[in-house]
Amino acid sequence: MRDLAGQRVLVLGLGRSGRSAVGFLSERGATIVAADEREPAQLGDLEALRGLAELRVGAPFPELADFDLVVPSPGVPAARFATARRALGDVELAFQSLTVPVVAITGTNGKTTTTELCARMLVAAGLRAEAAGNIGRPALELVGRALDVAVLEISSFQLEAVETFRPRAAVILNITPDHLDRHGDFAGYVAAKARIVARQRGDDVAIGCADDAAVRGVVAGARGRRWLFSTRAPVETGAWWDAGAVVLLDDGLQRISLDGLDLDAAPPLDDVLAALLACRAVGADVAKAATALAGFTPPPHRREVVGRHAGVTFVNDSKATNPDAARLALEALRGSAIWIAGGRNKGVDLAPLADLAASRVRGAVLIGEAADALEGALRGRVPVWRARDVEAAVALAADAAHAGDVVLLSPACASFDQFRNYEERGARFRAAVAAWIASRGGIA
């Protein structure tokens, strides 16, 4: 990282990443103005920042030209800092200060699970690794840590403010329409994601899903090594799923059996393949890395098993706030399901889910504002019930389920019609499952 002593730096946004940037810059002698247009009451306690930076809150951002460097938070669109002399996000600042290889993971869905899984796998393989970034822990917190590998979850927003960012392994899980209000259109969104591989060279590895056309295009444009993964078919170089085992092929072929792993409780197979390839890309023993799967629990609200009763498994996938995330959950089913879906649609066509649902679910319980649209798409394909809230949905779905079924909450929609966020929706589902099981004399 270049010398910041005496530099005038403007930090835009005082969320987690902005606050971490203030601390980082202050330690390096910068003169800092920290700005946020929200009112002070919306920002929480700012006392820890007062001795480190001049605070300007509840007012428009200062003139960018007055500063040597602008550090935008991910929530600040690129247009807001386009006139800065130089703009670097916290991910770029962290990268320039880290002295270990970086695994960077992006995608529309599955980033957090894959990032946490990859870090756990690296530890299981005997390496010192920690996860940060869009996962909720600012990337700058890894600077100065005793590490062998840094694992970063990276959003399209964060990729707008990188300059020299060059991960040893760049993982692109999937790219489907999202954040188009920020990036303009799907092409703009893909271009933002592609920045994760833009500076890779030589032995750097771009890792992507062979089953996703947009991802294949990004990986094909990478200038380092290119590995693909697939749950559907073998690939030329990379990893695929084959009859209960992971097969990896680059300089040689390796088969890792996952027999005995509870796939209902395990991370999605795409995430497993991507994480194992990332481990291999930084030199880890992938057989040892795979042992982390046995004890790994995906983060809350991401295909989280929250109860079992009379042969029925209850899965909380409230984080599935778009149709593609719900598609992944439905594709991962090994048996049949009663599917709970609905909420606030984000203007995305829900009809393509109908074909998949017809082959995977025995019935659908619909909630929220999108219930009419979903019922229209599913009519004649899948039995449909309507529920006024998630508690009623759990009761309907559980009563309809047979032994061996999954009751799957995977809404395909945002939560804001009935809940504060997807976490509240998932917590309500979890509590409703526990109450239903208890009412049947069981234990959730």
Beta strand 225-230 with 205-209 is: parallel
Q: Which two tokens stand for residue 386?
A: 């309507």
In angstroms, the first-to-last Cα distance of the chain is 51
Beta strand 205-209 with 169-172 is: parallel
- Around 247, how many Cα atoms within 13 Å sit in the side-chain half-sphere? 15
53 neighbors 33 (Cβ within 8 angstroms): yes
> What 3-state class would DSSP assign to 205?
strand
55 neighbors 30 (Cβ within 8 angstroms): no
Q: Which two tokens stand for residue 323?
A: 């149709």
Amino acid letter, 84:
A
Please state the φ and ψ torsions of residue 278, each to the nearest 5 degrees. -60, -40
CB contact set of 132 (below 8 Å; sequence gap of 6+) = 94, 138, 139, 141, 142, 150, 151, 152, 153
What does the radius of gyration of the chain's CA atoms come to, in whole angstroms? 23
Q: What is the rounded CA–CA span in Å between residue 343 and residue 368? A: 4
Q: What is the rounded CA–CA span in Å between residue 57 and residue 113? A: 34
Please state the φ and ψ torsions of residue 17, each to the nearest 5 degrees. -70, -40
Q: Order of strands across the sheet with 312-316?
A: 304-309, 312-316, 406-409, 337-342, 361-367, 384-386
Amino acid letter, 401:
A
Hey, which residues are catalytic here? 111, 134, 179
